Chains A and B, each alone.
Chain A
Amino acid sequence: GAVVSQHPSWVICKSGTSVKIECRSLDFQATTMFWYRQFPKQSLMLMATSNEGSKATYEQGVEKDKFLINHASLTLSTLTVTSAHPEDSSFYICSAREGREEQFFGPGTRLTVL
């Protein structure tokens, strides 16, 4: 199947700083990318959906000014956690699909905010 990568796989930052997570589709054009958040022993919670070249659509309860999503090309989307706090510590997963084909998931990024 198609490959989606995320970078970094693990990041530790100080409270108040911003962190950027990259999601790349390596062998297909991702017209749509999704960002999920996963808490321990919890399901994946959809945060936002982004279509290339358009503003992201955020799910209810997700602060768009805190979780900035950019999908500037067909192979790259970024999630920036601004002014991170310990409660933002979590596992962030992206997925991507071309058209209405199957979604492919990245391996996830573990964010720890001290």
Chain B
Amino acid sequence: GDSVTQMEGPVTLSEEAFLTINCTYTATGYPSLFWYVQYPGEGLQLLLKATKADDKGSNKGFEATYRKETTSFHLEKGSVQVSDSAVYFCALFNQAGTALIFGKGTTLSVSS
């Protein structure tokens, strides 16, 4: 079945460092791909998405490109801030397009 694999954390960075969180997926066809972020004490929020191959989703300085050749959707940010500390989830829509399938989440901790 469909599944998402993302790198295990925690990821600990200094402010202004470059961030990459890897995400790969297994799915039938070409599902829409998402990154969600969960700040402490809050619900998951959609960070960015891409709906077809080679699409690049971007938001708040974060970017991810839908790579069908490598079935990947890695999250990147050029310069992280302390306020980016959160848990990041990679996800895809199931084949029916009715439900999200999540990776395990990666905790990012940024220190000043």
Contact = CB atoms under 8 A, between A and B. Distances in A.
Q: Do A and B come from one complex?
A: yes
Interface size class of A (residues with CB under 8 A): 10 to 19
Secondary structure dominating the interface of B: loop
B43 A43 contact: no
Contacts of A67: none
Interface string A83-104: 0000000000101000010111
B56 interface: no
B4 A43 contact: yes
A53 B16 CA distance: 49
B21 to A, nearest CB: 14
Interface stretch (B61-69, B76-84, B99-107): B99-107
Nearest to B43: A105
A34 B98 CA distance: 10
